Copies of this chain bind each other. A is one copy, B any other.
Amino acid sequence: MEQPQQSAAPEAGKPPLRVGMVGYAFMGAAHSQGWRTAGRVFDLPRRPVLSAICGRDAAAVRAAADRHGWAAAETDWRALIARDDVDLVDICTPGDSHAEIALAALAAGKHVLCEKPLANTVEEAEAMTAAAEAAYGRGQLAMVGFNYRRVPATALARSMVAEGRLGTLRHVRVTYLQDWLVDPQFPLTWRLRKELAGSGALGDLGAHVVDLAQYLAGEQLAGVSALTETFVRQRPLPVGASSGLSTVESAGTGQVTVDDAAVFTGRFASGALASFEATRFATGRKNALRIELNGELGSLAFDLERLNELAYYDGTEPATRGGFRRILVTEPDHPYVDAWWPPGHGLGYEHTFIHQARDLVHAIAEGRPPRPSFADGLQVQRVLAAVEESAEKNSVYTPIAV
């Protein structure tokens, strides 16, 4: 194939954007890849520099720094924030520490990228949003890490909806199915403890799909009706487990204090109906985030397990020749793709983090508010809170607070 990838612009002379990251587990690895690669592929206005990484276990964080290419390692996130060589704080810890770290970072004059969900409670998210808005006045930017907006196929879907290709929206149906908790002997990790994770499948998977559904629809949910369930209520305690900032050492069994699954329906502001399902008990489904939007003029469907594809039905064509088409979202004109490979040479999961870094660098360089903003993250949090409230109140339809 005939597609030279290089472009004229070198990186060297660009002003740096110096990043400090808190957390070095799964998300830490993914964000590292994002910061390290974005400037090698995209023509960025500022050059990301991996200044320092932070974790509580000194040896582990030192190893992570070496592995992922961070110049320095810290064991106290306050020290990380205080560093002169950090312009942006990237928060990859469990949800219970998001608010405290983000507020401190914003107070210290740093830009912030915070993993989703924005916080474990609406109250925390409100405080973070207020702080972010105040900081924006001081030239600081804050973004929440809903990385699934950065898949070329979802970005394409968004632009097709915005072009009016679906017309009046009628249905949005979303599932996010995983199966890693099916085995009742899977241990009680931090993600299964409410005090650390806030909620279970709802906050982990549901947050993603609520954001993605609203992003693609271009409108917000007005209310929800929900059922949640914890199928396996006791699990073995992990032995010496460590996952990023949290460590649990114990034996015996413990109580699962979060949901294993949530199913909920809702209405969008426009009257479109929505259905959601988030679960860690869908045997055989590994990462099946699937979303379909049906509008009066057309439909779109996406499956994260086949993330280089977008299905599109053009209802304005005669049905005789129509059908869901599988768009391979690998053309140079597709979002993010011109920096990558020729048609048909697909991207993977981690590219969402590279694109996220790219978009944030641009926003910072241009001083415009990045999306999804903390306000977007807060709104998702309010949806999740309404889901939990509905589930507690016998599924009664529960409006989303505004």
Interface residues of A (CB under 8 A from B): 1-12, 24-26, 28-30, 32-33, 36-37, 40-41, 60, 62-69, 160, 166, 170-171, 173, 175, 177-180, 182, 189, 191, 225-227, 229, 231, 242-244, 261, 263-267, 271, 273-275, 277, 279, 281-288, 292, 294-299, 304-310, 312-313, 315, 318-328, 330-331, 333-334, 340-351, 390, 394-397
Task: Tell whether, in the assembled complex, residue A6 and residue B60 are in contact, meaning their CB atoms are under 8 Å apart.
Answer: yes
Known pairs A227-B397, A323-B326 / 6 extra A-B pairs, C-beta < 8 Å: A6-B60, A10-B65, A170-B279, A225-B226, A225-B395, A285-B299
Residue ID in chain B nearest A287 by CB atoms: B344
Task: Tell whether, in the assembled complex, residue B396 and residue A30 are in contact, meaning their CB atoms are under 8 Å apart.
Answer: no
Known contacts: A283-B294, A305-B346, A348-B348. The answer to whether A64 contacts B323 by CB under 8 A is no
In the complex, what residues of B have CB within 8 A of residue A307's CB?
A: 346
Task: Tell whether, in the assembled complex, residue B284 and residue A294 are in contact, meaning their CB atoms are under 8 Å apart.
Answer: yes
In the complex, what residues of B have CB within 8 A of residue A333's CB?
A: 318-320
In the complex, what residues of B have CB within 8 A of residue A328's CB?
A: 286, 305, 323
**Complex alpha-carbon distance, A37 and B69, angstroms:** 10
- 24 examples of A-B residue contacts, CB within 8 angstroms: A2-B180, A4-B243, A5-B30, A6-B63, A6-B67, A12-B66, A33-B40, A171-B282, A225-B225, A225-B227, A227-B397, A261-B273, A273-B279, A283-B295, A283-B297, A283-B298, A285-B294, A286-B330, A305-B328, A319-B333, A322-B327, A390-B395, A394-B396, A395-B397
Query: Could you say which of A32, A263, A279, A390 has the most chain B C-beta atoms within 10 Å of its C-beta?
Result: A263
In the complex, what residues of B have CB within 8 A of residue A6's CB?
A: 24-25, 28-29, 60, 63-64, 67-68
Residue ID in chain B nearest A238 by CB atoms: B2
Closest CB-CB distance, A93 to chain B, in whole Å?
13
Known contacts: A9-B67, A66-B12, A341-B30. The answer to whether A171 contacts B294 by CB under 8 A is no
**Complex alpha-carbon distance, A292 and B290, angstroms:** 14
Task: Tell whether, in the assembled complex, residue A26 and residue B9 are in contact, meaning their CB atoms are under 8 Å apart.
Answer: no
How many copies of this kind of chain does the complex include? 4
Q: 4 closest A-B pairs (Cβ-Cβ)?
A: A287-B344, A286-B344, A284-B313, A10-B66
Task: Tell whether, in the assembled complex, residue A327 and residue B321 are in contact, meaning their CB atoms are under 8 Å apart.
Answer: yes
Partner of A321, one of B41, B68, B309, B312: B312
Known contacts: A9-B67, A227-B225, A299-B285. The answer to whether A242 contacts B4 by CB under 8 A is yes
Partner of A299, one of B40, B284, B294, B348: B284
In the complex, what residues of B have CB within 8 A of residue A60's CB?
A: 6, 8
Residue ID in chain B nearest A327 by CB atoms: B323
Closest CB-CB distance, A380 to chain B, in whole Å?
19
In the complex, what residues of B have CB within 8 A of residue A41's CB?
A: 33
Task: Tell whether, in the assembled complex, residue B284 and residue A344 are in contact, meaning their CB atoms are under 8 Å apart.
Answer: no
Closest CB-CB distance, A353 to chain B, in whole Å?
10
Task: Tell whether, in the assembled complex, residue B265 and residue A283 are in contact, meaning their CB atoms are under 8 Å apart.
Answer: no
Task: Tell whether, in the assembled complex, residue B351 and residue A2 are in contact, meaning their CB atoms are under 8 Å apart.
Answer: no
Task: Tell whether, in the assembled complex, residue B394 and residue A394 are in contact, meaning their CB atoms are under 8 Å apart.
Answer: no
Task: Tell whether, in the assembled complex, residue A281 and residue B178 are in contact, meaning their CB atoms are under 8 Å apart.
Answer: no
In the complex, what residues of B have CB within 8 A of residue A345's CB?
A: 287, 348-350
Task: Tell whether, in the assembled complex, residue B5 and residue A29 are in contact, meaning their CB atoms are under 8 Å apart.
Answer: yes
**Complex alpha-carbon distance, A334 and B62, angstroms:** 28
Closest CB-CB distance, A17 to chain B, in whole Å?
17
**Complex alpha-carbon distance, A274 and B261, angstroms:** 11
Known contacts: A299-B284, A346-B348. The answer to whether A173 contacts B170 by CB under 8 A is no
**Complex alpha-carbon distance, A333 and B306, angstroms:** 20
**Complex alpha-carbon distance, A292 and B30, angstroms:** 32
Query: Could you say which of A9, A32, A325, A340 has the most chain B C-beta atoms within 10 Å of its C-beta?
Result: A325
Task: Tell whether, in the assembled complex, residue B327 and residue A326 are in contact, meaning their CB atoms are under 8 Å apart.
Answer: no
**Complex alpha-carbon distance, A304 and B341, angstroms:** 14
